[in-house]
Amino acid sequence: MGRLTGKTALVTGSSRGIGRAVAVRLAEQGALVAVHYTSNEEAARETVTTIEKDGGSAFAVRAELGVPGDVDELFGGLAEGLRERTGTSGLSILVNNAAVKVAGPVEDATPEDFDRLYAVNVKAPFFLIQRALPHLSEGGRVINISSGLTRLGDPSSVTYAMTKGALEQLAPHLAKLLGPRGITINTVLPGATRTGAAFWEDPALVEEITEMSALKRVGEAGDVADVVTFLASDEARWITGSSVDATGGSLVA
């Protein structure tokens, strides 16, 4: 019996990276996990297969976020998958992890990129929470994945950091709305986390990131997933409206 046995979870953007690690951890603790993806069905299936090989339960659900009808598409697939497996569309845990990032000189930023980042990173999580409200069970969990870049200046990532800063406002403002139902809402701020991106092949960059951490190593997706899993558990029932630094001490002055 895991800490999350009998729970259902939706993890957006969970076909790879931090989202995949979160989905796997939640399933290891007994949750039935909806693995959301945008276009890479094969990667989503791999996540589901990994979970099932370890004895967990999961299913994939597709929806492109940040476009008209995104929430309807996602919750339509989610409700269908949950009813097939549990008989209801009740949701215990919502993890808003999906995000897009465009980095580069401020001078090269475009209105199109700006609008896309806000649509995926801010608008989609807000309306996913709104849609989830009638489905969230008593004592449920909402966990939003932000970024340590909201606390660390990087001109090349200013638009992305702005969207994550906006995302962080959801927890303190919605905590009192959700609290009477025993639902907590919190934000996790990962630092530089090894997810398989090409830039991790640069030894100089890895060394620079390592030196930034108080723990003198780079972050792994599992490090963040463990924090999310804790917040999803009953042990975190007294934490809400908070932001949790999961940067390995990279923000310590």
pLDDT band at 253 (very low <50, low <70, confident <90, very high): low
Q: Is 156 a catalytic residue?
A: no
What's the whole-model pTM score? 0.95
User: In angstroms, rounded to a whole number, what is the distance separating the alpha carbons of residues 74 and 90?
Assistant: 14
> Is the predicted pLDDT of residue 200 greater than 80, yes or no?
no
Q: What is the mean pLDDT of residues 185-212?
A: 86
Q: Is 160 a catalytic residue?
A: yes
Q: What pLDDT is recorded for position 154?
A: 85
Q: What is the mean pLDDT of residues 111-138?
A: 97
CB 188 within 8 A of CB 231: yes
Q: What pLDDT is recorded for position 19?
A: 98
Catalytic residue among 14, 146, 157, 250: 146
Catalytic residue among 14, 92, 147, 250: 147
Q: Class of the 8-246 domain?
A: alpha beta
> Is the predicted pLDDT of residue 251 greater than 90, yes or no?
no
Q: For residue 206, with 0-12 CB atoms within 10 Å meaning exposed, 13-18 middle and 19 or more buried, which class applies?
A: middle
Catalytic residue among 7, 15, 37, 160: 160
Q: What is the mean pLDDT of residues 216-229?
A: 95
Q: What is the mean pLDDT of residues 181-198?
A: 90
Domain boundaries, the chain: 8-246
Q: Is 146 a catalytic residue?
A: yes
158-168 vs 170-178: helix crossing angle, rounded to 10: 20
